[in-house]
Structure 1
Amino acid sequence: MSTRLRDAYRELRLGTRLVLGLGVLSLAAFAVVGTTLTAYMRDYLEHQQVAQLKLVQDIQAKDAVEHGTVKRQPYYGWYTAVYDVSDGTAALRRPADVPDDTTGFTALARARADSTGDLTSTAQVEGKGTYRLRACEVVPGVVLVSAAPMAETEDTMERLITVQVIAFTVALLALVVFGRLLLRRGLKPLSDMAHTAHGIASHDLTESAARLPLRADRPGGGPEVEELRTAFNTMLEHIDDSLAVRAEAEQRLRRFVADASHELRTPLMSVRGYADLFQYAAANVPEERDGHLARLRSEAARMGVLLDDLLLLARLDAAEVDAPLRREPCDLVDLARGAADAFRAAHPGHPLTLEAGSRPLPLSLDPVRVRQVLDNLLTNAAVHTPAGTQVSMTVGVTSGTARVLVADAGPGITDADQRRIFDRFYRVDKARSRDNGGSGLGLAVARSLVTAHGGTLSLSSEPGATTFVLELPSVEHAKADP
């Protein structure tokens, strides 16, 4: 039974449980207050009645000394008896205004004869009810016993208890009703948050661009509820950000898979086509067969470069323990000069100026990968600008950070292209052939390599000036040239 009650209590709503708890506490408080008040009032009335009996007996004792018995009764329903006590016996003097049942009177008179002070007791008189008895000694051997009915005291106590029960019941009902209303109003923000949570639960989070439009934005509830509301909305913001990142990652993954499939399909189809031509032209002249073999080797090499770039990006994204970097002390200025010499030899139609200063710039980095980044930036400037366009490369130190600026005076890059230029398989010139334009992975690989070194690669472009800024941190023992 107790288990069922406990389970039923746990299934109640928080507001109902709080109201029940408030009702139980109030009932306990009312019971304590009522019991204390009733006990105090009963004790007060009894002391008042005893004091009244003592006052009356002071007068009746004089009457008993003068006449032997008490002639007059002070109040209606009161009784007075005079006893002669000796040797443990008590004899009632007549005439006496006493009820038929005098057992209690006689017993109290005998007890007074054996004591040194006045006695008070409560006795049940047959046919009359409960009485308060008080015995005092008039003269030695004579005891006066007075009795006052307790009906008024009992009636007063019954009325007091009735009034308390009614008042406490009304107060308890009012407390429960208004407490429930106040609690419902106070818990309304929590209900709103629960409604918001249900709305989120019914929201489709599988959409690629899923967002959570719901928020717990209604005020009220006090500091604790406001703190909970802030934490709840912060959690929703984090969920929103996570969903946005996931949606963006899914879009990038879809685009990456589609672009990779497209990029691999083209050389594969070329390999298949040239393989078929080589098969059908096996009996042709050697020059034709050599041409087909050369194309096969070229497409295979193209696929190898593409797969190497994809593997490098995957290893950089996975943040493997064995990262594809082999750091060693080297001079960034020497790397820049080597990249500049290779560029001048490969692109004589693009004049290049190098500003690197006379002092070395020692860094701890992977020289092969950094050289790959520099070659990519320079080649990108040559590929996307007309012949004769001036290209420059500047190497220096700013606030302990090595900076390499690769700039060209070409037509610039539009804002839309700048936002996606570091995306994988993205080409600024859509009309450029894959033979001349590459796979669109160069800048993505360059940024990933720079990020793996703890640096940044950024772009600023406008018509007539495009600049890639490469920054590598933690430059030690390097000073900027004046």
Structure 2
Amino acid sequence: MFILLIVSLTAIIIYQYLIHRNQQRVLTSISEKLQQIMKRSTDEKLLLQTDDKRVKTLLVELNKLLDHNQTIRAAHNQTEDSMRRMLSNISHDLKTPLTVVMGYIEMITSDPNLSKEETDVLLKKVHYKTVEVLNLMNKFFNLARLESGDIDIPLTRVNINEICRKNILTYYDVLAAKGFTVKVDIPEEPLYVLGNEVELERILNNLLSNSIRYGSDGLVIGLTVRSSSDMIYVDVWDKGKGMNERDQNRIFERMYTLEDSRNKLYQGSGLGLTITKRLIEQLGGEITLQSKPFERTIFTFSLKRLNF
């Protein structure tokens, strides 16, 4: 009986030792694989055959952490790419008008035979280009403040119908001169949103000017206000050349411009839509884009509806 007890205890000890050794081997394997994944910055997962429920749970949680880390790394890489592109575009957009300004000033200072009329013309061009640089720098500053949360936008009850009507009317002369057909669909019933009148005018100004610039081939521009029980939707659309799926996915990025936007006809800083998106988010809304070239390119932003 005593011998049987000794044998049983010995068997238990050996069994526990084997389990412990197997666990050590599994944990060592997990540790080594995890180090490899982190060192190489790959998208691999921890895959290991085991019957130990605790180890399985550990693997599930570690893979969740790896997913989270990979998401953060991808976002970081995207931000770095965006910053590099932004710095490159900032350099281009500031260098071009400043080079022109320097050229005009050199003409004024190096040619004593310039008449007063000729000098005045050059000075007006210098002034125009200087204002262009200042406006661009203000856009950079405003975007930086928006993204840092340094702007406090008070929200109040705003009649979105009136703001939309007023903003489309400010473009009447421009649209008429360019030969646009304007289609406006704004309900007679007053619709109110939780927003800010000044920022909503900036948003509409950015969207309308964008549609005029890039939708000129279609010569049709539209503004529609729609509502549901708890939301208000504003559509700004055109029938211009639109954009491909790649551009649609990136159009709200900082400094992203369409391929031909460096053409003088379509020149833009690439900041307007980014600022628009940030402003709408500050107002608690969202903005989306759908585009079918020469059929309809539509920007839709939504805001919370107030029913009182």
Task: Identify the match of residue 343 of structure 1 among 146, 150, 171.
Answer: 171
- Given that 1:392 and 1:408 are in contact with CA atoms closer than 8 Å, whether structure 2 keeps it comes out as yes
After TM superposition, the structure 1 = structure 2 runs for residues 8-23 of structure 1, keeping only pairs within 5 Å, are none
* Residues matched between the structures, number: 305
* Counterpart in the other structure of 2:111: 281
Residues 308 and 404 (structure 1 numbering): CA distance in 2 closer, same or farther, change over 3 Å?
same
* Counterpart in the other structure of 1:468: 299
After TM superposition, the structure 1 = structure 2 runs for residues 171-182 of structure 1, keeping only pairs within 5 Å, are 175-182=12-19
Deviations 1:274-327 (A, max 9, x none): 22112123541011111111111111111111111111111111112x43x243
Residues 296 and 394 (structure 1 numbering): CA distance in 2 closer, same or farther, change over 3 Å?
same
Deviations 1:139-193 (A, max 9, x none): xxxxxxxxxxxxxxxxxxxxxxxxx5x984x766655544433322244432221
TM-score if structure 2 supplies the norm length? 0.90
Matched, 1:194 2:31: yes
Between Structure 1 and Structure 2, whose CA radius of gyration is higher? 1
Measured in 2, the distance between the counterparts of 1:254 and 1:171 equals 69
Q: 5+ residue gaps in structure 1? A: 1-32, 35-163, 205-210
- Given that 1:362 and 1:477 are in contact with CA atoms closer than 8 Å, whether structure 2 keeps it comes out as yes
Deviates further, 178-187 or 310-319? 178-187
Secondary structure of the structure 2 residue equivalent to 1:347? helix
After TM superposition, the structure 1 = structure 2 runs for residues 94-243 of structure 1, keeping only pairs within 5 Å, are 168=6, 175-201=12-38, 203-204=39-40, 211-243=41-73
- Which structure 1 residue ranges, 4+ long, deviate > 4 Å from structure 2? 170-178
After TM superposition, the structure 1 = structure 2 runs for residues 73-472 of structure 1, keeping only pairs within 5 Å, are 168=6, 175-201=12-38, 203-204=39-40, 211-320=41-150, 322-323=151-152, 325-348=153-176, 349-386=179-216, 389-430=219-260, 432-434=262-264, 436-463=266-293, 464-472=295-303
Residues 401 and 282 (structure 1 numbering): CA distance in 2 closer, same or farther, change over 3 Å?
farther
Measured in 2, the distance between the counterparts of 1:276 and 1:315 equals 36
Deviations 1:193-212 (A, max 9, x none): 111233235x14xxxxxx43
Residues 304 and 410 (structure 1 numbering): CA distance in 2 closer, same or farther, change over 3 Å?
same
Measured in 2, the distance between the counterparts of 1:167 and 1:332 equals 87
Measured in 2, the distance between the counterparts of 1:167 and 1:413 equals 81
Measured in 2, the distance between the counterparts of 1:182 and 1:222 equals 10
Q: Which amino acid aligns with 1:306?
A: L
- Given that 2:108 and 2:119 are in contact with CA atoms closer than 8 Å, whether structure 1 keeps it comes out as yes
- Given that 2:261 and 2:267 are in contact with CA atoms closer than 8 Å, whether structure 1 keeps it comes out as no
Higher relative contact order by CA 8 Å / sep ≥ 6: 1 or 2?
2
Q: 5+ residue gaps in structure 2? A: none
Instruction: Give the fraction of aligned pairs with identical amino acids, expressed as a percent.
Output: 25
Deviations 1:194-250 (A, max 9, x none): 11233235x14xxxxxx4334221132422221111111111111111111111111
Instruction: Report which of the two has the higher share of helix.
Output: 2
Secondary structure of the structure 1 residue equivalent to 2:72? helix
TM-score if structure 1 supplies the norm length? 0.59
Measured in 1, the distance between the counterparts of 2:92 and 2:28 equals 52
Aligned residues: CA RMSD: 2.4
Q: Which amino acid aligns with 1:476?
A: L
* Counterpart in the other structure of 1:62: none
Following TM superposition, by how much is the alpha carbon of 1:329 offset from its aligned partner in structure 2, in angstroms? Answer: 3.1
- Given that 2:136 and 2:269 are in contact with CA atoms closer than 8 Å, whether structure 1 keeps it comes out as yes
Measured in 1, the distance between the counterparts of 2:85 and 2:254 equals 9
Deviations 1:79-105 (A, max 9, x none): xxxxxxxxxxxxxxxxxxxxxxxxxxx
